[in-house]
Structure 1
Amino acid sequence: MQDQSPDLAANEPDPWDGDPRLPEFFADAWVAVRTFRDYLVEEGELRGLIGPREIPRLWERHLLNSAAVVPYLPQTGVVVDVGSGAGLPGIVVAAMLPDAEVVLVEPMERRVAWLNDVVARCALPNVEVRRARAQELDGAIEADAVTARAVAALDKLYRWTAPLVRDGGTVVAMKGARAEGELAAAAKAMRAVGLVDGRVHEAVTIPGTEPTRVVTAVRRVRGVR
């Protein structure tokens, strides 16, 4: 996404720390999300998951940004986060959707180890971590929704993720300022994999934060034109 937040130095405090709107916004997910954030501060840079300049802007640029996808996801069912990396948005999604089964898909062993540590530390019983690439799971997963953040261009992402989504399910991607153009460029790929109704949404979490561009597309029910 396009970053319009201040270019903070690594040793500066996060301006969102202590903001009372955060626990109000995250509600029942607050303890898990705050624990995740604290763990990122403690270990994220050491494990090569985030750069030092990201630490003072974890709340707005990463955690609130991840929370922006939640309104476009089902409250229950299977949600698969591909290329989960540090756990964004997957860990935030799991904390905010406790009745959903969230599968974090990540091919790198060290990141899988991190994700398993986060799941244990944040006490998230609704999460499964799988070491794999999305394209390796065709036929092994049937998701109600798939999420992705900074994984690939939409045309490539749709080829990887559409086979994981059940008929009527949704691919939900977080994108930057060029989301509209990227969606238009992916039209042929969408048709090829049975995705329809592509839309770009500007999602706001807490008023005053930069909107997150969320791109949704629905897996067509086979046999229905």
Structure 2
Amino acid sequence: MNLKKTLADNDINLPNNFFSNIQKYKEHLYKWNKIHNLTGAKDEATLNDFIYDALFPIKFLPQVDSLMDIGTGAGFPGMILALALPDTEVTLVEPLTKRASFLQFIKADLGLKNVRVVKKRVEEMESQIFDLITSRAVTDTKMLLKLSQNFRDKNSRLLFYKGEKVFDEVNDAAQDINYKIIEKDNRHYLLLGEDI
């Protein structure tokens, strides 16, 4: 995949410094991954797929002032969204030291003023309301709704990056909340909120 072309073909608008920042991010991730095994994305093609996957929702998301990513791991989707949305305050929640250290290093190296890294489990964080809460490959929808309840109000939206099990999960978990599922290839983006 030619990441730049694919993003342009999909009308995903990004800041001027996005591609230079994403290149530095990739280089650091390759180095850290050899030692710390941060992610399963070990080659250029897989990494580009992960980055595109993180960015695709920009097409349908409203602009938000604050975003929290639960279980950011090596940066998917939270760090990638932070690079793409410099006017959004992004809180990356990651309990594992090696991953949180990597995120902190990227924040410092790229001078990202819109990023805050929290090395905790989300359950241990102080309550705070975010406009958007994201999560990818952490747990099922029902548990994500429970984990996020102290961080959202009726105006907040949730975006969960899901696979095909999303249809079963949503029937089980989202009876009291509006939702829609946006399908793209093998990815199912579950968007939840009162006014979606």
- Kept in 1: contact 2:73–2:94 (CA 8 A): yes
Task: Establish whether residue 118 from structure 1 lines up as the match of residue 102 from structure 2.
Answer: no
**Residues in 2 aligned to 1:20 and 1:96: alpha-carbon distance in whole angstroms:** 13
Alpha-carbon deviation of 1:55?
5.2
**Residues in 1 aligned to 2:7 and 2:52: alpha-carbon distance in whole angstroms:** 12
Alpha-carbon deviation of 1:30?
1.7
Task: Establish whether residue 197 from structure 1 lines up as the match of residue 186 from structure 2.
Answer: no
Alpha-carbon deviation of 1:164?
0.6
**Residues in 2 aligned to 1:41 and 1:89: alpha-carbon distance in whole angstroms:** 17
- Kept in 2: contact 1:69–1:174 (CA 8 A): no
- Kept in 2: contact 1:41–1:55 (CA 8 A): no
Could you state the TM-score of these two structures normalised by the residue count of structure 1?
0.75
- Kept in 2: contact 1:168–1:219 (CA 8 A): yes
Spell out, residue by residue over 1:195-223, the C-alpha distance to the aligned partner (whole angstroms, 9 max, x if none): x11211124xxxxxx35311011168xxx
Task: Establish whether residue 155 from structure 1 lines up as the match of residue 142 from structure 2.
Answer: yes
Question: Which residue number in structure 1 is paired with residue 117 of structure 2?
Answer: 129
**Residues in 2 aligned to 1:70 and 1:122: alpha-carbon distance in whole angstroms:** 21
Q: Which letter maps to 2:110?
A: C
Figure out how many residues of one structure are paired with residues of the other and give that number: 190
Q: Which letter maps to 2:142?
A: D
5+ residue gaps in structure 2? Answer: none
- Kept in 2: contact 1:102–1:127 (CA 8 A): yes
Q: Secondary structure at the match of 2:95?
A: coil
Could you state the TM-score of these two structures normalised by the residue count of structure 2?
0.85
- Kept in 2: contact 1:200–1:215 (CA 8 A): yes
- Go from structure 1 to structure 2 and tell me whether the alpha carbon gap of 1:138 and 1:69 turns closer, same or farther (over 3 Å shift): farther
- Go from structure 1 to structure 2 and tell me whether the alpha carbon gap of 1:52 and 1:79 turns closer, same or farther (over 3 Å shift): closer
1:96 to 78, 81, 84: 84
Root-mean-square deviation over aligned CA pairs = 2.3
5+ residue gaps in structure 1? Answer: 1-15, 204-209, 221-225
Q: Which letter maps to 2:150?
A: P
Task: Establish whether residue 87 from structure 1 lines up as the match of residue 75 from structure 2.
Answer: yes
- Go from structure 1 to structure 2 and tell me whether the alpha carbon gap of 1:216 and 1:41 turns closer, same or farther (over 3 Å shift): same
Q: Secondary structure at the match of 1:143?
A: coil
Question: Which residue number in structure 2 is paired with residue 143 of structure 1?
Answer: 130
2:58 to 42, 58, 70: 70
- Kept in 2: contact 1:168–1:218 (CA 8 A): yes
| Identity fraction in percent | 24
Question: Which residue number in structure 1 is paired with residue 27 of structure 2?
Answer: 38
- Go from structure 1 to structure 2 and tell me whether the alpha carbon gap of 1:30 and 1:53 turns closer, same or farther (over 3 Å shift): closer
- Go from structure 1 to structure 2 and tell me whether the alpha carbon gap of 1:49 and 1:34 turns closer, same or farther (over 3 Å shift): same
Question: Which residue number in structure 2 is paired with residue 170 of structure 1?
Answer: 157
Task: Establish whether residue 21 from structure 1 lines up as the match of residue 5 from structure 2.
Answer: yes
Q: Secondary structure at the match of 2:101?
A: helix
